[in-house]
Structure 1
């Protein structure tokens, strides 16, 4: 890899100019497609994602926070930042329950199942008070529909992310959701679920993109071999299933090692005669590469940036022949504890500069996370997440300094 001169160039650019001015998409201006290293709207405007993650894949299988605030108010917080996209996560278990006609699909039953009847009933009443259009019999999918509808009302795109198969907190190598064939990672049900959600979300005005799977990683003894050959043999049919059910959204591809390594498909490597060749697929104009980074302990940007370039961002450099499968790269997860104002840290500033200062502009980003708390996480009910932009009761920002000095400027610079 010839990274030294390229990284030097990036460093120079970061001090000379910010993101290029862009022709604005007239919302929603979908479907989006890929042109070279950019995402472009239906009218040909360049699109740069600037958004946040809204988790909905944990034990209750519901978007978080509705016991504390209304969907409209939560979306309003996102809108106030100037963000244009929400990464909305879901579990395949939602679709499995749909096909099984499980009674747990209703708000009442899913909350009782996850929280117990006493706390489940309490949280249900809180949700219904904040969101009076719901009833105890409203289903999980109807809640997701309502979130998507409000995001559309406030002109924010939806990026739909399959986070896990079995609904639970993610991620570890031992959670059964890690790799194809793992304890809970039934490949056929996963592929079915992706196709189902692509079709179901056709009615969502703001649906712009979908992802194949969050943070693929080494699995347990039941999993398939942890090789790129397993990846391509399972992923390509899954992507075709999305495209055949709904050809409109972009399709985000994630790599290995908790989605920190995209080298196989951007470098066009061959494993057991299997090669990822975008031009040969029906969805060739829909392919976006996603990357995650959580190197929070870094003391210098050069501990972060070379790996990000080699493992992902070289795909956006059209002159770099070492990564011939060029395309947009979106950092769909990065984040840090909000309580200490660490937006000025080496890590936070390096992520911001790396995303913004790619040759010819950024691809996009989505910060982890919006959630100030969870219905339940890792067995703890009403779990507080200090990484959340919102406070515990979803009534305001956890740290206004981070919002004003990091998040809002990052959004503005991404325009």
Structure 2
């Protein structure tokens, strides 16, 4: 099979419902159900830190935050989460902030989102997803880490399967847990398997094994309409190895057009300040 890198083009859209869901891939594009090329403008909303919920709710209401995103002309949110939230889903907001001694954050949350203070952290994700859908914003759910913390380093225990906090079975269960949230929310168009795999344990055989397992046993098993976003190695700077063996060759035909590869580029990625992300594409 000829390999192509799938890239989300970043352009402004006035209304996501000009597209027909669900999405799939064709060549190097994401397309809608009618074959139209999908273009999105996306923003990252972190939800993978120690509080086990999306950030900023001590400063503003969920509705207001989503309205700000809308006013910025964004049409898509990459909402990150940790596997910890899927394993502590019954923890309430009050309990989560209290255990961390976040007194000011607790007061701010009660001021800005008072009706949710006794909601579970899992339900906070539900409410955020529902609010994004209400304002016609597409969502990519991103598994950022296993142990809730800031990402990333080579030695944080979150980098690769088998690391201190990166248990394979817990990860699979966590993906299933979050995938179930997408079933009745068609505007959640994609899930990523894991952000920025890295560290001394990283290797290609385990990468292929666990990527394919997560696709077949978790995401596509729970919700086959989802796009599946796959990160490479070395902080997602290296996807060169899929030129010789694309994941599409290892999954059923029905899933092949749901595969999206992501590559990351930063000013500190050793490509030079004048370079751009085409450097990554050229190595694939």
User: Could you state the TM-score of these two structures normalised by the residue count of structure 2?
Assistant: 0.88
The Cα RMSD (Å) is 2.5
Q: CA 1:263–1:112 in 2, change beyond 3 Å: closer, same or farther?
A: same
Taking a change above 3 Å as real, the CA distance of residues 41 and 276 of structure 1, as seen in their structure-2 partners, is closer
Conservation of the 8 A alpha-carbon contact between 2:229 and 2:261: yes
2:223 is the alignment partner of 1:246: yes
Aligned to 1:123: 105
Aligned counterpart, 2:194: 213
- Match of 1:283? 255
Residue 309 of structure 1 aligns with which residue?
Answer: 281
**Alignment length (residue pairs):** 273
Instruction: Measure, in 1, the Cα distance between the counterparts of 2:191 and 2:247.
Output: 19
More RCO (CA 8 Å, sep 6+): 1
**In the alignment, structure 1 residue 293 sits paired with structure 2 residue 265:** yes
The alpha-carbon distance between structure 1 residues 20 and 108, as it changes in their structure 2 partners (threshold 3 A), is: closer
C-alpha distance in 2 between matches for 1:229 and 1:24: 42
User: What residue number does 2:94 align with?
Assistant: 108
SS at match of 2:73: coil
Whole-angstrom distance in 2 between the partners of 1:195 and 1:20? 31
- Is the 8 Å Cα contact of residues 216 and 255 (structure 1) preserved in structure 2? yes
TM-score (norm 1): 0.61
Distance 1:54 1:76 in 2: 13
- The SS at the match of 1:202 is coil
Give the whole-Å Cα distance in 2 for the aligned partners of 1:25 and 1:32: 12
Match of 1:34, SS state, is strand
Match of 1:391 in 2: none
Gap change, CA 1:280 and 1:83, over 3 Å in 2: same
Q: Residues 324-376 of structure 1, C-alpha deviation per residue, up to 9 Å, x if partnerless?
A: xxxxxxxxxxxxxxxxxxxxxxxxxxxxxxxxxxxxxxxxxxxxxxxxxxxxx
Q: Any stretches of 5+ residues in structure 2 without a counterpart? A: 1-8
In the TM superposition, what is the alpha-carbon distance from 1:276 to its structure 2 partner? 3.2
For 2:77, the equivalent position in structure 1 comes to 86
Maintained 8 Å contact 2:10/2:42: no
User: Superposed, which structure 2 residues align to 1:308-387 within 5 Å?
Assistant: 308-312=280-284
> SS where residue 280 of structure 2 aligns?
helix
Pairwise CA distance, 1:299 = 5.5
Query: 1:43, CA displacement in angstroms?
Result: 3.1
Return 5+ residue gaps in structure 1 as ranges. 1-17, 220-224, 270-274, 313-415
Aligned to 1:62: 53
- Report the CA distance shift for 1:134/1:229 in structure 2 as closer, same or farther (over 3 A): same
2:230 is equivalent to residue 258 of structure 1 = no
Deviation of 1:233 after TM superposition, in Å, equals 0.9
